[in-house]
Amino acid sequence: MDLLSIENPSFLQNLTKKELEQLSEQIRSFLIKTLSKTGGHIGPNLGVVELTIALHRAFNSPKDKIIWDVGHQCYVHKILTGRAKDFHSLRQYQGLSGFPKMNESPHDVWETGHSSTSLSAAMGMAIARDLKGEDYFIVPVIGDGALTGGMALEALNHIGHEKKNIIVILNDNEMSIAPNVGALHNILGRLRSAGKYNRAKDELEALLKKIPAVGGKMAQTAERFKDSLKYLFINGVFFEELGFTYFGPIDGHNYDDLFENLKYAKKTNGPVLLHVVTKKGKGYKPAENDKIGTWHGTGPYKIETGDFIKPVDSKPAWSKLVSETVRKLARDDERIVAITPAMTVGSKLEGFQEEFPERVIDVGIAEQHAATVAAGLATQGMKPYLTIYSTFLQRSYDQLIHDICRQNLNVFIGIDRAGLVGADGETHQGVFDIAFLRHIPNIVLMMPKDENEAQHMIYTAIQYDNGPIAMRFPRGSVYGVELDNKLKKLPIGTWEVLREGTDYAILTFGTTIPMALEAAKKLEKYGIQTKVINARFIKPLDEEMLRSLLHNQIPILTIEEAILQGGFGSSVLEFACDNGYTDHEIKRMGIPDRFIEHGDVKNLLHEVGLTSDNIVQTIKNEIQKLIKRA
């Protein structure tokens, strides 16, 4: 089979089981080979090869809606729906997305990247289908990790109550990114060993039907027996009590099991949950043997050895620097407890967890819960360190307002992956946190210019006991600057002049400082002296420094690798306006009012105009305008 020639999944109907098994192996080697160059979510996708093929054989996509939860495991789906030929561009600028995208294929019926949305989306589609009197299957595929997300449980509750015809496929590989956690994970563990309960129930029913009816008594006994069978055989009662017909657990790599159970599921009225047990990374030893989530999402690697191919000058990740700094401070401060919503590996907490196993709390994919656990800890005098990607912090918005800031609790939030993240695209760009945080009373928000300032900020945050304080930091590696041995507390709300100048002032922070300094240097050639200020406290602003710029009528350019609407630049505009400087020249550069797709961060920065050349051009244009107006 030439994978590149596949246009749609209809060909699957005519394949024998042997041919399907050959196709599985072909897709596996295609994935292993292609992803060794592009990187991507190799583990999750190797685990769903047979499942995806079986789903596309049992259902008629896109009439039947196959919905991928998180969506990181959609590569096989993309191969079967005519996109194998695009995989060389996977997760690259203007290339194939690593998640479902409606503009790529009609088979991508739901876009995602954040976990636990598939069941709610399925419910919405089911309500629409039934209101319109249409007839098609709706099949959300959710992982055991995603099932721990609050939204998923809210949806299970609703679907079961409404008895909607939805076939939930639970892809259980016992892994979130790292090994899965929580009570639900334990229930699934018991289920995995429960054997084929449902078949026994059907055989029993068939048997009882053969016994001549002796009136309600027998039927009642039979019903009670059937129910006790259910209780006897499975803890899947968790799902059955929610109103689902539970099937499984079945072997998600066995076509006979898959086809037989999908046939049952299609014939069953009301909500069904088919529990499929798979092996994450199946078919590639390094990924199969991965115990901690290293092969969940990777960069390029050497196929033969499984060694990752890192850039030559690779320096430690920002997450590592931050987590290790907090870990060091935790040695002398027992109040410190780290909380992560299922991102132990991404947030580089392994070392911290090894040294202080009871002081690193992985709550599962549960960002709302994580934020309020942190709040609860702070009420008891602890110093919780909530480490969370900017994009996933969006899930905890109400908890930030209602629980942490309103009660003014001493929570330290490490906002990881702040700014453009690159390959994960729109659903993961960490560009909204400034806009959704800075208007919340009591919060301090800061961003370091480099890893040395970061460690001082972390020390400041741990010492800070006037309420919530957040430090945002980017994805990727640190700069490699020298680290001070002695940490000091930074005065809250103070900025730092990095370069003097009187013709123009650039206010910026974090990752856009280097380009600002580069632009200032280039502007000197045009006789323009540009002040560059490290506006490291996004909230509160350094009002003294800002006031002096305004008072001395120095035109201002704010630059942020964050959404412009409601961002840092907006706060400078508000300050100027509120303090009577309504005619002061203030220009803003940042992420425009649209979602930014996947691609290398350098390309994305260029696309949105965040380059030193564009800064130069902007300031030159503004000065020209000022001269004309004078």
Ligand X SMILES: CC(=O)[C@@H](O)[C@H](O)COP(=O)(O)O
Ligand Y SMILES: Cc1ncc(C[n+]2csc(CCOP(=O)(O)OP(=O)(O)O)c2C)c(N)n1
Site for ligand X, rule CB under 6 A: 70, 72, 296-297, 346, 417, 421, 424, 475
Consult the annotation and say whether 146 binds a ligand: yes
Binding residues for ligand Y restricted to 574-603, rule: CB under 6 A: none
Judge whether 342 is annotated as a binding position. no
Which helix (DSSP H) or strand (DSSP E) does residue 65 occupy?
strand 65-68
Contact with ligand Y (CB under 6 A) among 97, 118, 173, 512: 173
The one catalytic residue in 83, 395, 417, 475 is: 395
d(CA 393, CA 415): 8
Q: Does residue 341 interact with Mg ion by CB under 5 A?
A: no
144 among annotated binding-site residues: yes
DSSP state of 344: T
8 annotated ligand-binding residue: no
| Nearest residue to Mg ion, by Cβ distance, number only | 143
Minimum CB separation of residue 177 from Mg ion in Å reads 9
Sign of CA dihedral 173, 177, 181, 182: negative
DSSP alpha helices (H): ranges in 442-540? 451-463, 513-524
Residues in 282-321 at the binding interface with ligand Y, rule: CB under 6 A: 296
Structure tokens at 30: 């295609």
> Near ligand Y by CB under 6 A, which window of 59-67, 143-151, 192-200, 571-579?
143-151
Q: How many residues does the chain have?
A: 630
Name which of 230 and 296 has its Cβ closer to ligand X. 296
Residue 27: helix, strand or coil by DSSP?
helix
The answer to whether 142 and 168 are in contact (CB under 8 A) is: yes
d(CA 103, CA 343): 30
- What is the DSSP secondary-structure string of 85-129? GGGGGTTSTTS--SS--TTT-TT--S--SSSS-HHHHHHHHHHHH
- Please pick, among 28, 78, 164, 280, the residue that the annotation labels catalytic: 280
Stretch of residues binding Mg ion (CB under 5 A), selected from 28-36, 75-83, 119-127, 166-174? 166-174
Of Mg ion, ligand Y, ligand X, none, which one sits near residue 146, judging by CB under 5 to 8 A according to partner kind? ligand Y
* Contact between 396 and 371 (Cβ < 8 Å): yes
Q: Which residue has the tokens 């630059």?
A: 559
Q: Which of Mg ion, ligand Y, ligand X, none binds 185 (CB below 5-8 Å, type-dependent)? A: none
Q: Is 126 annotated as a binding residue?
A: no
| Contact by Cβ (8 Å): 140, 151 | no
Least Å distance, CB 69 to Mg ion, is 10
Number of residues that bind ligand Y (CB under 6 A): 23
Shortest approach of ligand X to residue 287 CB, angstroms? 14
Cβ 508 to ligand X shortest distance, Å: 23
Using CA atoms, how far apart are residues 523 and 505, in angstroms rounded to an integer? 12
Q: Does 39 show up as a binding residue in the annotation?
A: no
The answer to whether 367 is a known catalytic residue is yes
* Whether residue 280 lies in the annotated active site: yes
Q: Which residue has the tokens 């909530």?
A: 386
> Rounded to the nearest whole angstrom, what is the least distance from the CB of residue 159 to ligand Y in the complex?
18
Kindly tell me which of 173 and 511 has the beta carbon lying closer to Mg ion.
173
- Element (DSSP H or E) covering residue 249: strand 245-251
Whole-number Cα distances in Å, 621 to 527, 528, 626: 14, 12, 9
Out of Mg ion, ligand X, ligand Y, none, what residue 293 binds, judged by CB under 5 to 8 A for its kind, is none
Q: How far is the CB of 190 from ligand X (least distance, A)?
A: 27
Which partner, Mg ion, ligand Y, ligand X, none, binds residue 97 by CB below 5 to 8 Å per kind?
A: none
Question: One-letter amino acid identity for 14?
Answer: N
Letters for 121-150 (x = contact with Mg ion by CB under 5 A, - = none) are ----------------------xxx-----
Near ligand Y in 57-116, by CB under 6 A: 70, 72-73, 114-115
Span 339-358, contacts to ligand Y by CB under 6 A: 342
Q: Give Dmax over CA atoms of the chain in angstroms.
A: 103
Which partner from the list Mg ion, ligand X, ligand Y, none does 421 bind, CB cut-off 5 to 8 Å by kind?
ligand X
Cβ proximity to ligand Y, 34 vs 73, nearer residue: 73
Assign 3-class secondary structure to 166-229: CEEEEEECCECCCECCCHHHHHHHHHHCCCCHHHHHHHHHHHHHHCCCCCHHHHHHHHHHHHHH
- We find the least distance from the C-beta atom of residue 346 to ligand X, in angstroms, to be 3
- Binding site annotation covers 535? no
Ligand-binding annotation for 134, yes or no, is no
Return the one option of ligand X, ligand Y, Mg ion, none that residue 255 interacts with (CB less than 5 to 8 A, by type).
Answer: none
Question: Rounded distance, CA 395 to CA 192, Å?
Answer: 30
SS3 content of the chain, % helix, strand, coil (to 5): 45, 15, 40
| Contacts with Mg ion, residue ranges (CB under 5 A) | 143-145, 173, 175
Contact footprint for ligand Y (CB under 6 A):
44, 47, 70, 72-73, 114-115, 143-146, 171, 173, 175-177, 280, 296, 342, 365, 367, 392, 395
Query: Which residues are annotated as catalytic?
Result: 280, 367, 395
